[in-house]
Amino acid sequence: DIQMTQSPSSLSASVGDRVTITCQASQDISNYLNWYQQKPGKAPKLLIYDASNLETGVPSRFSGSGSGTDFTFTISSLQPEDIATYYCQQYDNLLRPTFGGGTKVEIK
Amino acid sequence: QVQLVQSGAEVKKPGASVKVSCKASGYTFTSYDINWVRQATGQGLEWMGWMNPNSGNTGYAQKFQGRVTMTRNTSISTAYMELSSLRSEDTAVYYCARDLGGMTSWGQGTLVTVSS
């Protein structure tokens, strides 16, 4: 199975800061990469699909980039409501998706 | 709107089985695949497998092969995930999620606790 290495595992930033999370695949996955947000006690929510496409209704401060093995997720200006854990997920093998380990984002 | 509503929390003894349901509404149930994903307390997301509600075809993560069964009842737009030979490490929240690729809609989760 394709392994997804996400970093950092946690971060603390101030409101208004730019936040960046990276995800590295163990092999080339083209752009078959999604990003999810999970708030405590809630189900995950799809934010970005196909590496860089914003899901409908998701604020434009969220963005994604990358292809191949290296991907980046960015919050351009961190807001208090963005406190959550973020996960990347590959689906290069559509029938064998795997998730990264998650990044917990906190407010400093 | 698309909704996936899961069955309630379960407490099971080691060695038992659990069957979690996921009732779909707001869309044509047979048109979208269903995934099952679990999350142990304080841990990350773990994909368990998928099912095509139209054909009944399934695919399971190797880790769960032989212990998990995914089925559906199209007449009531409901998907099921049954996990057998439960052990303490199976204590987790179990989610159903629609779509292969990007999982666009999720159930609210079902807590399964395995304890003697």
Mean pLDDT for A11-18 is 97
CA torsion B19-B81-B104-A84 (nearest 10°) is 60
A46 touches chain B (CB under 8 A): yes
Mean pLDDT for A37-59 is 97
Confidence of residue B99 (pLDDT cuts 50, 70, 90): confident
Mean pLDDT for B60-73 is 96
Identify which of B80, B75, B85 has the alpha carbon closest to the alpha carbon of residue B58.
B80
Whether A91 sits inside 8 A of B101 (CB atoms) is: yes
Whether B107 sits inside 8 A of A55 (CB atoms) is: no
Q: What is the pLDDT of residues A33-47, one digit of tens each?
A: 999 999 999 999 999
Confidence of residue A95 (pLDDT cuts 50, 70, 90): confident
Mean pLDDT for B49-69 is 96
Residue B3 has pLDDT above 80, yes or no: yes
Whether A102 sits inside 8 A of B45 (CB atoms) is: yes
Confidence of residue A93 (pLDDT cuts 50, 70, 90): confident
> Which residues of chain A have a CB within 8 Å of the CB of B41?
none
Query: Using CB atoms within 10 A of its CB, is residue B29 exposed (0-12), middle (13-18) or buried (19+)?
Result: buried
Sign of CA dihedral A47, A52, A57, A60: positive
- What is the structure's pLDDT at A92? 85
DSSP character string of A10-70 = EEEE-TT--EEEEEEESS--TT-EEEEEE-TTS--EEEEETTTEEPTT--TTEEEEEETTE
Confidence of residue B35 (pLDDT cuts 50, 70, 90): very high
User: What is the rounded distance in angstroms from the CA atom of residue B37 to the CA atom of residue A49?
Assistant: 18
